[in-house]
């Protein structure tokens, strides 16, 4: 079973356009919020990884397919899960739904590469690989 986490958010006015519909780029911000909470729930907050372990996980690919609209003050759930772990990369998939009825708003994914302080790709450490694959 994939490692997953769900984060609930309420649409803020600043995240909407003139029609009070969520601006498309905000979904990528929500992906980041959910991703950060997933790693925190796994006992690997980004702040600890980058500070103590000396590597970073930049986004090298981001994709979103929009299915329906969210509006100001809607409550949404952002579900994220680890779908693929490579030698130095990982892919996370996302599903955003509007609550309470779980209306599908958006699906997407991001791909991340682990890089060292020198900016070059590095192999995912065994202990992290194990947490990502459990």
Q: Which residues are catalytic?
A: 17
What's the chain look like in SS3?
A: CCCEEEEEEECCHHHECCCCEECCCHHHHHHHHHHHHHHHHCCCCHHHHHHHHCEECCEEEEEEEECCCCECCCEEEEEEEEEEECCCEEEEEEEEEEECCCEEEEEEEEEEECEECCCCECCCCHHHHHHHHC
């Amino acid at each position: 079973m994939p490692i997953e986490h769900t984060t609930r958010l309420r649409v803020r006015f600043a995240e909407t356009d003139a029609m009070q519909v969520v601006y498309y780029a905000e979904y990528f911000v929500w992906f980041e919020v959910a991703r950060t909470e997933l790693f925190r729930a796994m006992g690997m907050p980004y702040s600890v990884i980058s500070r103590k372990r000396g590597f970073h996980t930049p986004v090298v690919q981001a994709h979103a397919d929009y299915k329906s609209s969210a509006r100001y003050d809607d409550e949404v759930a952002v579900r994220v899960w680890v779908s693929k772990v490579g030698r130095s990369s990982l892919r996370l998939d996302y599903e955003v739904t509007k609550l309470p009825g779980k209306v599908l708003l958006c699906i997407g994914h991001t791909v991340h590469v682990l890089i060292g302080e020198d900016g070059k790709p590095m192999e995912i450490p065994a202990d992290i690989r194990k947490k990502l694959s459990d």
